[in-house]
Structure 1
Amino acid sequence: MGKKNKNEMSFLDHLEELRWHLIRSFSVIFVIAVVVFIFMTSIYDNLLIVHLDGNFVTYKFFCQAFELISIDSEFCSLTFNDKLNNLDVTGQFTMAIWTSLILGLIFAFPYILFELWRFIAPGLNPKERGKSRWFIVLASLLFFVGLLFSYYVIMPMSSYFFYTFSITDKIQNTITVQSHISLLTNTLLGVSLVFELPLVIYFLSKLGLITPAFLRKYRKHALVVVLILAAVITPPDVASQVVVAIPILILYEVGIIISKRVEKNLKKKLKNA
């Protein structure tokens, strides 16, 4: 007896199918996490705490940019106390496991999207299935662009602000590795997911939940939301918030164009029906 068509599968069959997609996704995350754990020392030294090095590429870029316009900048003589503290007996081991899982999730993101596509693809017609393949590539591209943006722009700004900010010299910061990694992972994941905005708008438009007119009408409201979001994921200074807000607003405008195209295609289908 042949394999059941997705449309003919019962609810329990769908759950069983979903279970195997989830198992494979978690397996890939786990394998990557194990590899990350093995090379944890090198990853921490060369990737995760490099923002505490005054010679990090972003700080050098800002230094050179300010020098070009003849403005003195702290970025040219930036120093950090790069010794992070651990206050818990099991702290470093727990942090190593947690970091491995987070990086496993990040690096497995394209495969997770592939499993998601495999789950929904059988329910699509051949034409829709062919067009939907771009989803994996585009979603992965947006995710990793957001990842690079947060790693090379947002995280250095956050480190610069929070590590150099002081109310008074009488207060000494004792920064733990847990708080630093939490800041890093929240920034990386938060910004990377925000960069998926055009795809979110695309699917909401396909479902008829939003329209280009709706997006244009509430553009000012979206600007306020974007500024609030930028304030949440960046240091509380205007420059950092503007740097984050600009690409999000660009993505929002791209989303309007996408929504307009989706609406045009839907009207064309209804006309030809």
Structure 2
Amino acid sequence: MAASAEHDEGEGSLIDHLVELRSRLLRAITGLVIALVALLPFANRLYGWFAQPLLDKLPQGAQLIAVEVASPFFAPLKLAFFAAVLLTMPWLLYQAWAFVAPGLYKREKKLALPLLVSAVGLFYAGCAFAFFIVLPAVFGFLTAITPDGVAMMTDINAYLNFVLVIFLAFGISFELPVALVILVLLGWVTPAQLREWRGYAIVGMFILAAIITPPDVVSQLLLAIPMCLLYEAGIIAARLVAPKDAERAADADEA
């Protein structure tokens, strides 16, 4: 009887979790759809604003082109979806947080919420840095080295894919401090080890920047240098949240 009751209780708890998960997913998708529907009427205008970093650097009279027949329709639609995801990211992450939060301890909640907010803010900061700083510098460099007699006419879909990759690269790269803090909280590394590995990390970040950015030195430096600064910020943040006893022991071992 007791075993049967425990089985029924466990099964009921699983069903409750699945129902809660379904509810959170529906809310997340509903918010995303509402944002997408609201953005669709402005998709073409949004694409025009999105293309401005390149248009500002092109020679007089040059413009973007549509190579594929359906590109003028699908490219703005794709951008509107991406913008809707960015716009609703706090809402989507809140739904994920609301689902997992009841199972966390008080200390875990106290640490997880600031990390979640910081992750969202850093991702937005990375995208903004890419749009307002990196893209104008990259396109200025690329147009300056275009050979004479060559007209730089980029397809709107190719341009969109290029910029979205840049956005994701910088947005994810700016999450470095959060990743370091999480590693320290999990006990996999210590702030002292992060300081010790600084030289290797800098070399790795420059190599990573060379891989994930376009083949020009401007974008590589504009990604690698902020990552180095964010690495230092991650060390400082990790020291603030690391268990004091473990940090003192690591410092003593280092000495």
Q: Same fold (TM over 0.5)?
A: yes
- Mark the CA change 1:38 to 1:250 in structure 2 (over 3 Å): closer, same or farther: same
Aligned to 1:67: none
Which of these residues, 109, 130, 151, is aligned with residue 89 of structure 2? 109
Aligned to 2:232: 253
Aligned to 1:70: none
Alignment of 1:186-225 (within 5 A): 186-225=165-204
Contact 1:194–1:248 (CA under 8 A) maintained in structure 2 = yes
Distance 2:158 2:144 in 1: 15
Aligned residue identity for 1:199:
V
Alignment of 1:231-250 (within 5 A): 231-250=210-229
1:200, distance to aligned residue in structure 2 (A): 1.4
Alignment of 1:1-273 (within 5 A): 10-11=13-14, 13-45=16-48, 47-54=49-56, 79=59, 82-166=62-146, 168-169=147-148, 171-265=150-244, 267=246
Aligned-residue sequence identity (percent) comes to 31
Distance 1:135 1:263 in 2: 14
- Mark the CA change 1:137 to 1:170 in structure 2 (over 3 Å): closer, same or farther: same
TM-score when normalising by structure 1:
0.75
Tell me, which stretches of 5 or more residues in structure 2 are unaligned?
A: 1-9, 248-255
Aligned residue identity for 2:226:
P
1:102, distance to aligned residue in structure 2 (A): 0.8
Aligned residue identity for 2:158:
S
1:48, distance to aligned residue in structure 2 (A): 0.5
* Matched position secondary structure for 1:249: helix
Output one character per residue of 1:9-35: Cα deviation in whole Å (capped at 9) or x when no partner.
745543443333233222222221222
Number of residue pairs matched?
A: 238
- Mark the CA change 1:224 to 1:17 in structure 2 (over 3 Å): closer, same or farther: farther
Output one character per residue of 1:42-75: Cα deviation in whole Å (capped at 9) or x when no partner.
2122x20111343xxxx8xxxxxxxxxxxxxxxx
- Mark the CA change 1:82 to 1:112 in structure 2 (over 3 Å): closer, same or farther: farther
Aligned residue identity for 1:104:
A
- Mark the CA change 1:207 to 1:182 in structure 2 (over 3 Å): closer, same or farther: same
Which region of structure 1 is more displaced relative to structure 2, 120-129 or 243-252?
120-129
TM-score when normalising by structure 2:
0.80
* Matched position secondary structure for 1:43: helix
Output one character per residue of 1:100-121: Cα deviation in whole Å (capped at 9) or x when no partner.
1111111111112212221221
Tell me, which stretches of 5 or more residues in structure 1 are unaligned?
A: 1-6, 60-77, 269-273
Contact 2:126–2:171 (CA under 8 A) maintained in structure 1 = yes
In proportion to residue count, which structure has more helix? Answer: 2
